[in-house]
Amino acid sequence: MSGHSKWKTIKHKKAATDAKRGKIFTKIIKEITVVARDCKGDPETNPRLRTLIDKARQANMPQENITRAIKKGTGELPGQSYEAISYEGYGPGGIAVLVDTLTDNKNRTVADMRRIFTRAGGSLGETNTVAWMFEKNGAVTITAPKLSEDTLLEQLLDYDVSDIKEDDGSFTIYCDPKALDMVKHAVEKIPGVVVNDATFEFVAKTPMNLNETDTAAALEFLEELDDLDDVQNVFTNLA
């Protein structure tokens, strides 16, 4: 078991700040719309939609916003049609980067990607330029200030958990993607645990260490990517 990467720690804190500003609403609404389209708006048949609804409520999103996003996804209300596109390449210090986006304008999004990668001295690549350096995991992020990592692991011995990473009272539990919903339900039953998110993450097979100067440049670059409205997730092999 190991600690969070620097980027994971920043993302966790940044998400809390974005939630306070309501900025996170845009990203959640986009994803609810897309997932609702794929499952016809029924959270009972789609664990990801259930989790997104929970996440929206934790961010204090009004119920009417959630309902409207679902109805836009199912076509009951008019709305933007979003397309999921992933980008990959190299950033400052040679770090590998995967970026998941939901966009209604591919030309705008790819232009933003090129601008940020180029300005940081990186390069945008073709499909599978760096994707082979990562593996897809289910990831359940929780707040459990009174639980130790060992205690949490003991509670999950019967589940397909591959790793637990801790950062100041917050834990990310990694598991087989197929077991994500099962692990989420198991964690929800543990007293004192608050589930913040349950999603899929691309985890680097071999994390990369940089010197202090390059790390600072890399983190600034990753934050700039994450701040784009079209960006849903940014994954990196930066340790």
Q: For position 44, which CATH number holds?
A: 1.10.10.200
If you average pLDDT over residues 47-57, what whole number do you get?
A: 90
Q: Are residues 198 and 95 in the same domain?
A: no
Pick from 89, 94, 80: nearest CA to 30 = 80
Say if residue 196's pLDDT is above 90.
no
Say if residue 2's pLDDT is above 80.
no
150 Cβ contact partners less than 8 Å away, ≥ 6 residues apart:
none
Domain count, the chain: 3
If you average pLDDT over residues 105-125, what whole number do you get?
A: 97
Q: Are residues 63 and 42 in the same domain?
A: yes
Confidence of residue 61 (pLDDT cuts 50, 70, 90): very high
Provide the angle, in degrees to the nearest 10, between the axes of the packed helices 24-39 and 6-21.
90
Amino acid at 12: H
Q: Are residues 152 and 56 in the same domain?
A: no
Q: Are residues 143 and 191 in the same domain?
A: yes
What CA–CA distance (Å, rounded) separates 32 from 53?
8
Confidence of residue 20 (pLDDT cuts 50, 70, 90): low
Give the CATH number for residue 91.
3.30.70.980
Q: Let me know if residue 197 belongs to a domain.
A: yes
Percent of residues in the chain assigned helix, strand, coil, to nearest 5? 45, 25, 25
For the four alpha carbons of 170, 101, 177 and 222, in that order, the dihedral sign comes to negative
If you average pLDDT over residues 208-212, what whole number do you get?
A: 96
If you average pLDDT over residues 180-186, what whole number do you get?
A: 93
What CA–CA distance (Å, rounded) separates 128 from 122?
16
Question: Residue 227 belongs to what domain range?
Answer: 86-126+208-236
Residue 4 has a pLDDT of 58
Q: Let me know if residue 79 belongs to a domain.
A: no
Residue 115 has a pLDDT of 98
Q: Are residues 139 and 199 in the same domain?
A: yes
Q: Are residues 44 and 155 in the same domain?
A: no
